[in-house]
Amino acid sequence: MNYKIKYSISKFLPVVFVFFILSSCASLPSNINAPKTYALQDTDDTAFGIESRILIQEPSEESGFFLLANGLDAYTARMAVIRHAERSIDAQYYMIHNDLTGILFGEQLIKAAERGIRVRLLIDDMDLESRDKGLAAVASHPNISVRVFNPFIRSFRSRTSQLLTGFGSVTRRMHNKSLTADNQVTIVGGRNIGNEYFDADPSLAFADLDVMAIGPIVKEVSTSFDEYWNSPLAYPIATLRPDLVGEEDYNEGIERLEQYVNSEIVYAYKMRLVDSDLYKKIQNDTLVYSLGIATVLSDHPDKLISYDEDSSLTLASQFTQYFKRIENEFIIFSPYFVPGKTGTASLSNLSKNGIRVRILTNSLASTDVGIVHAGYAKYRTTLLRAGVELYEMNKVLSKEERKEKKGNYGSSKASLHAKSFVFDRKNVFVGSLNLDPRSVVENTEIGIMVTSEELAGEVASGFDRIVDKLVYRLELVTDENGIEHIRWHGLEDGVEKTWNYDPHSSVWQRFGIFLLGLLPIESQL
């Protein structure tokens, strides 16, 4: 070894030693005294409860479902659920951004609490850095409880250092997304709370999907929420930050909040919500639910602790039975799609056995996580060779599509974020699950599986419409030398075009993705 290198390492070792010693000193506070609470049961006389009884004629195991594919509709639905709640609101999210839709969402929860509604807000800690002060202020309201799931240690240590030293613990996150009112109506799906999910970001629009449900299925969502809320991994914000308790001026915070939500930009967005299709249906009492038998598929929160020693704790184990029963067609929406060798073999076998397998995921240009694309790209050839149909989201909307957008909110970039699966156009799953190792093994997820030809057909038809206009269709071709290549076919400003490489990408991007694909990190993607 070169002497200078040895000398440099010897100087660096004490720093590394001190870093790990300091890292091991800090720890989370005890969480054994967190009070357990549960979803309210005496809510049949609420407006949502009455609506449920009118829709679902007893005795029946059916529930009602309404798909939320449009960003404005999805946000309008959340505002309606919160504003019409009479007893309780339970919100569970992976991320709530500190932007227009995130702040407006928080403001509506506070207003609900001021009406006397019990609010429980459970949020993963991944997106909360430097926001403890605001959470503590919100939680100071007597009707609001805030808990942080699988929190990082609040100390001098950066989150980056904790991710490195806490690999396998803090790297595993609660990815669930649900909003439930009065234990009678719920919204479950792929959307976090942030501008890009609700058509409020002028530069990026996530194509996403939620389902609003009413009826017996809501109780199952509430049961899952209670499991997470009462988990030892769910820390009250006051337990994490006792130094902030009593130090926040709640009234001053409300004043600043009101100034923001009364600003012109918020008013303009509210007017767009009023103009949404769903708002008009609610006002005209023309909202129609599709009926179907359903069940909630979800990971148990202990999955983050057990590391899958007990497969019964996983959503994946519940999902398998539906996969095994596929007879004709399997449709997949998965923005982060890393099938791995086992998944690739399973999907390939379906296709070889005559089952039509159709997959929509992000292209290199449309994805917001390039390293995940690297994990997916190396399986494309094998899947195409087996007859699997691969489609990738087009990055740039056409001129006509941008013109259809109203005002200054016409997003120039579209990225897939919906997570849904259709089985033989009879069963449909809508939730937070991606087909990648992180969702299946590392994180926790939730979704609703509905048996309904009407609802499954609606999602499948949506897939058909998207692949006709907004995607690249991948084709495997063999050149004169017998070498296989992938071609991309798609529309650019309404004109059909073919690419021999990932569309709208540079040589350096493609080379970087190739290098990332060589790294042994697939289990974390």
Decide if 6 is catalytic: no
pLDDT at residue 402, as a whole number: 41
Decide if 424 is catalytic: yes
User: In this model, does residue 162 exceed pLDDT 90?
Assistant: no
Q: What is the pLDDT of residues 186-206, one digit of tens each?
A: 999 999 999 999 999 887 788
Helices 71-83 and 264-274: angle between axes, nearest 10 degrees: 100
pLDDT at residue 492, as a whole number: 83
Q: What is the pLDDT of residues 362-416, one digit of tens each?
A: 999 888 777 888 889 999 999 999 999 999 998 754 445 444 443 333 344 678 9
Q: What is the pLDDT of residues 289-330, one digit of tens each?
A: 999 999 999 999 999 887 656 677 799 889 989 999 999 999
User: In this model, does residue 15 exceed pLDDT 50?
Assistant: no
Mean pLDDT of 241-260: 80
Residue % of the chain over a pLDDT of 70: 86
User: In this model, does residue 179 exceed pLDDT 60?
Assistant: yes
CA 222 to chain centre: 18
Predicted structure pTM score? 0.90
User: In this model, does residue 207 exceed pLDDT 80?
Assistant: yes
Q: Average pLDDT over the chain, rounded to whole? A: 87
Q: What is the pLDDT of residues 45-81, one digit of tens each?
A: 999 999 999 998 877 899 999 999 999 999 999 999 9
| Catalytic residue chosen out of the listed positions 424, 426, 436, 502 | 424
Count Cβ neighbours within 10 Å for each residue of 435-473 and write b for 16 or more, e otherwise: bbbbbbbbbbbbbbbbbbeebbebbbebbeebbeebbbe
Rounded to an integer, what distance in angstroms lies between the CA atom of residue 230 and that of residue 145? 12
| Catalytic residue chosen out of the listed positions 300, 303, 419, 426 | 419
Cβ atoms of 402 and 194 within 8 Å: the answer is no
Indicate the pLDDT class of residue 6, thresholds 50, 70 and 90.
very low
More confident residue, 255 or 484: 484
Q: What is the pLDDT of residues 274-283, one digit of tens each?
A: 999 999 998 8
Decide if 504 is catalytic: no
| Catalytic residue chosen out of the listed positions 124, 132, 182, 208 | 182
Decide if 201 is catalytic: no
Q: What is the DSSP letter of 34?
A: P
CA max distance for the chain: 82
Q: 42: how many CB neighbours lie within 10 A of its CB? A: 10
User: In degrees rounded to 5, what are phi and psi of residue 77?
Assistant: -60, -45
The full set of domains in the chain, from first to last, is 31-283 (3.30.870.10), 299-524 (3.30.870.10)
Decide if 310 is catalytic: no
Decide if 141 is catalytic: no
| Catalytic residue chosen out of the listed positions 373, 395, 413, 417 | 417
| Catalytic residue chosen out of the listed positions 175, 303, 395, 426 | 175
More confident residue, 174 or 57: 174
